[in-house]
């Protein structure tokens, strides 16, 4: 039991307190002078973690944009992912727009937070701008995200949530991506926005072939690690062949839209030398499709060699050497494909039989795709595109007629499209198509097999006697058609 007479008097209490505080101040200022700053920080942080470690259940990951001098892909992914999760209450946002962006992009600004939920786990993102010790010195500024969540979900977040953020970010980027068409102008790539409407949904092709092509593209995109493992460059080659107007260019555009890849339209007729080709190919970007159209007539390689001036090098390794098919193929298989990722090359031709065997040998083009005349299935796709006729509702009364007349040998999809565009009234447009089909079939039946053979031989001889050159009207009209096609 205490008696009030045992307690110190207020005067002696305050005297003891004052001298104690004095000692503390003295120790503190001595510690400041004697112990170096970093050691003090270490002591403070150790004490802090000792005192508070056991009480905190939150884990905070910091994600900055530095990965040993390279970009940190998680930071980039977080930035894109969070831009779609910004709350309407956010008070400060950053705004930017690239020259290829259609819309402005919004990003979190300093101190702004985003709450997210993943598999019932609550997460909190915060964007931090750290200006370092020197206030106002922009050079020492670092920016990073903080991701906080309950510690017990650490494995889920690292192994499942972060990959989820990366996948979502890729989808968002792909969706936002503006495709470009690069064409040659005076041996330089000139770029315009590629807004071609063709997709795998709108293209008239047999369903099975369409599925095969899409699966092949998907597999190619998925297999980055596989290509690395087997030591092959991550590239894929396609040869599209078939008569004019069967959709080869449309398929190129559909592939570009599907993959969100830019298109480089390499007009070989304007490239005369190996060195120019190398420079142009090395200037192409990843995630792109290189198209060489009409390869059978675009590159008259034997003629180029004949045109070679005396004294000009003949070796394809010589930068002044004229372009040769083997030079082109070797370069595409070698340096070009190994110095970039996700490259696709497409050759198109109306005459596969005229191609150099070097192009056709196994392993050169991974997939040969035949684009043929319009089948009834292809017609239904076009009727849906142009007239809005849906296959699942009651078929149009003329469908039976059209199916009988269209056997995949008489009319091209381009000709069908032309007929369907003549009227917005489905009855009128389809009646027009039936008339055209009947005329075509009549003409085809009229020609006896002997006559047909003779006609195709005559046509072939005529083509041989009139080789395509850069300035020929046929070539020019085709090129103009292509440009119009791409730019509309």
- Binding residues (CB under 6 A) for ligand ATP: these are 203-205, 244-250, 350, 371, 413-414, 417, 485
Strand partners, 344: 236, 289
Q: Rank residues 316 and 374 by Cβ distance to ligand ATP and give the closer one.
A: 374
Half-sphere exposure of 98 (CA within 13 A, CB side): 6
As a whole number of angstroms, the distance between CA 20 and CA 36 comes to 25
SS3 category, 72: coil
Q: Rank residues 273 and 482 by Cβ distance to ligand ATP and give the closer one.
A: 482
Rounded to a whole number of angstroms, the minimum distance from the CB of residue 89 to ligand ATP is 47
Shortest-Cβ-distance residue relative to ligand ATP = 247
Q: Rank residues 80 and 198 by Cβ distance to ligand ATP and give the closer one.
A: 198
Q: Rank residues 147 and 289 by Cβ distance to ligand ATP and give the closer one.
A: 289
Closest to 409 in 3D by CA, of 363, 441, 361: 441
Counting runs of H as helices and runs of E as strands, what totals does the chain give? 20, 13
**Residue 91: Cβ within 10 Å count:** 7
The conformation of residue 299, written as its DSSP 8-state character, comes to: -
Rounded to a whole number of angstroms, the minimum distance from the CB of residue 393 to ligand ATP is 21
Rounded to a whole number of angstroms, the minimum distance from the CB of residue 429 to ligand ATP is 15
Rounded to a whole number of angstroms, the minimum distance from the CB of residue 417 to ligand ATP is 4
Angle at 444 between CA 440 and CA 448, to 5 degrees: 165
Q: Rank residues 250 and 267 by Cβ distance to ligand ATP and give the closer one.
A: 250
Helix axes 426-446, 413-420, angle to 10 degrees: 140
Q: Rank residues 233 and 259 by Cβ distance to ligand ATP and give the closer one.
A: 259
Closest to 324 in 3D by CA, of 299, 346, 307, 349: 299
Q: Rank residues 147 and 269 by Cβ distance to ligand ATP and give the closer one.
A: 269
Contact 173, 80 (CB under 8 A): yes
Rounded to a whole number of angstroms, the minimum distance from the CB of residue 251 to ligand ATP is 7
Q: Which residues touch 449 (CB under 8 Å, ≥6 apart)?
A: none
Sheet holding 142-150, edge to edge: 58-64, 142-150, 121-130, 113-118
Rounded to a whole number of angstroms, the minimum distance from the CB of residue 238 to ligand ATP is 13
Rounded to a whole number of angstroms, the minimum distance from the CB of residue 415 to ligand ATP is 8
**Residue 263: Cβ within 10 Å count:** 24
Rounded to a whole number of angstroms, the minimum distance from the CB of residue 151 to ligand ATP is 56
Q: Rank residues 145 and 379 by Cβ distance to ligand ATP and give the closer one.
A: 379
As a whole number of angstroms, the distance between CA 208 and CA 23 comes to 88
Contact 289, 248 (CB under 8 A): no
């Amino acid at each position: 039991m205490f008696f009030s007479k045992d307690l110190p008097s207020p005067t002696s209490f305050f005297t003891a307190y004052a001298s104690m505080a004095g000692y503390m101040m003295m120790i503190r200022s001595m510690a400041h002078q004697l112990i170096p700053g970093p050691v003090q920080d270490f002591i403070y942080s150790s004490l802090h973690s000792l005192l508070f470690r056991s009480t905190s259940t939150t884990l905070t990951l910091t994600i900055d944009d530095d990965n040993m001098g390279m970009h940190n892909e998680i930071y980039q992914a977080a930035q894109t992912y969070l831009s779609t999760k910004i709350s309407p209450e956010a008070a400060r946002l950053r705004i930017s727009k690239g020259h290829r962006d259609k819309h402005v992009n919004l990003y979190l600004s300093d101190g702004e937070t985003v709450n997210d939920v993943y598999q019932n786990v609550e997460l909190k993102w915060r964007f931090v701008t750290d200006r370092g010790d020197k206030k106002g010195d922009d050079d020492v500024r670092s920016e990073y995200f903080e991701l906080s969540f309950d510690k017990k979900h650490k494995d889920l977040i690292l192994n499942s949530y972060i990959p989820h953020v990366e996948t979502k970010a890729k989808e968002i980027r792909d969706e936002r991506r503006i495709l470009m068409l690069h064409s040659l102008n005076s041996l330089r790539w000139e770029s315009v926005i590629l807004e071609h409407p063709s997709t795998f949904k709108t293209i008239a092709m047999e369903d099975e072939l369409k599925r095969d092509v899409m699966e092949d593209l998907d597999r190619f995109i998925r297999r980055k690690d596989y290509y690395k493992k087997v030591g092959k460059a991550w590239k894929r080659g396609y040869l599209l062949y078939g008569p004019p107007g069967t959709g080869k260019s449309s398929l190129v555009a559909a592939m570009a839209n599907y993959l969100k890849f830019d298109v480089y339209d390499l007009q070989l007729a304007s490239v005369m030398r190996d060195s120019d080709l190398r420079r142009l190919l090395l200037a192409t970007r990843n995630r792109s499709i290189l198209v060489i159209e009409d390869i059978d007539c675009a590159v008259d390689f034997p003629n180029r060699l004949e045109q070679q001036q005396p004294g000009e090098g003949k070796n394809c390794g010589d930068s002044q050497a004229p372009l040769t098919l083997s030079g082109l193929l070797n370069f595409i298989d070698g340096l070009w494909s190994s110095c970039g990722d996700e490259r696709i090359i497409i050759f198109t031709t109306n005459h596969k039989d005229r191609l150099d065997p070097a192009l056709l040998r196994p392993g050169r083009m991974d997939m040969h795709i035949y684009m043929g005349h319009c089948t009834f299935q292809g017609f239904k796709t076009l009727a849906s595109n142009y007239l809005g006729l849906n296959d699942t509702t009651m078929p149009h009364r003329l469908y039976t007629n059209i199916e009988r007349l269209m056997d995949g040998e008489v009319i091209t999809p381009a000709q069908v499209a032309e007929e369907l565009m003549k009227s917005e009234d489905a009855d009128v447009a389809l009646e027009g198509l039936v008339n055209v089909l009947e005329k075509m079939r009549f003409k085809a039946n009229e020609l006896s097999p002997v006559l047909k053979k003779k006609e195709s031989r005559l046509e072939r001889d005529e083509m041989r006697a009139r080789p395509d050159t850069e300035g020929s009207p046929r070539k020019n009209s085709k090129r103009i058609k292509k440009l119009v096609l791409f730019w509309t």
